[in-house]
Amino acid sequence: GQQLNQSPQSMFIQEGEDVSMNCTSSSIFNTWLWYKQDPGEGPVLLIALYKAGELTSNGRLTAQFGITRKDSFLNISASIPSDVGIYFCAGSISGGSNYKLTFGKGTLLTVNP
Amino acid sequence: NAGVTQTPKFQVLKTGQSMTLQCAQDMNHEYMSWYRQDPGMGLRLIHYSVGAGITDQGEVPNGYNVSRSTTEDFPLRLLSAAPSQTSVYFCASRTGGGNTIYFGEGSWLTVV
Q: What confidence category does residue A95 fall into, taking pLDDT thresholds of 50, 70 and 90?
A: low
CB contact under 8 A, B106 and A41: yes
Q: Do B90 and A42 touch (CB under 8 A)?
A: yes
The average confidence (pLDDT) of chain A is: 90
DSSP, res B73: B
Nearest to B103 among A42, A100, A106 (CB): A42
Q: Cα B64 vs. chain centroid, distance in angstroms?
A: 9
The whole-number pLDDT of residue A62 equals 97
Q: Is the confidence at residue A24, as pLDDT, over 90?
A: yes
Residues of A in contact with B31 (CB under 8 A): 97, 99
Task: Please compute the mean of the pLDDT values over residues A77-94 and round it to a whole number.
Answer: 91
Give the distance from residue A84's alpha carbon to the nearest chain B alpha carbon, in angstroms.
Answer: 17
The residues near A98 (Cβ < 8 Å, ≥ 6 apart) are: none
What is the pLDDT confidence band of residue A3, given thresholds at 50, 70 and 90? confident
B50: chain A residues, CB-CB within 8 Å:
97
Contact B58, A100 (CB under 8 A): yes
The whole-angstrom separation of Cα B96 and Cα A71 is 25
pLDDT of B86 reads 97
| Residue A49 confidence (pLDDT) | 92
Question: For the segment A29-76, what is each residue's pLDDT rounded down to a tens digit?
Answer: 888 999 999 988 899 999 999 899 999 999 999 999 999 999 999 999
Could you say which of A1, A88, A95 has the minimum Cβ distance to residue B97? A95
CA distance B5 to B24: 5
- Report the pLDDT value the prediction gives residue B94, as an integer from 0 to 100: 87
- Round to whole Å and give the CA distance between B106 and B89: 5
pLDDT, residue A99, reads 61
Residue B34's closest CA among B3, B53, B70, B6?
B6
State residue B97's pLDDT score: 66
pLDDT in tens for each of the 112 residues of chain B? 569 999 999 999 999 999 999 999 999 999 999 999 998 788 999 999 989 999 999 989 999 999 999 999 999 999 999 999 999 999 999 876 666 788 999 999 999 9
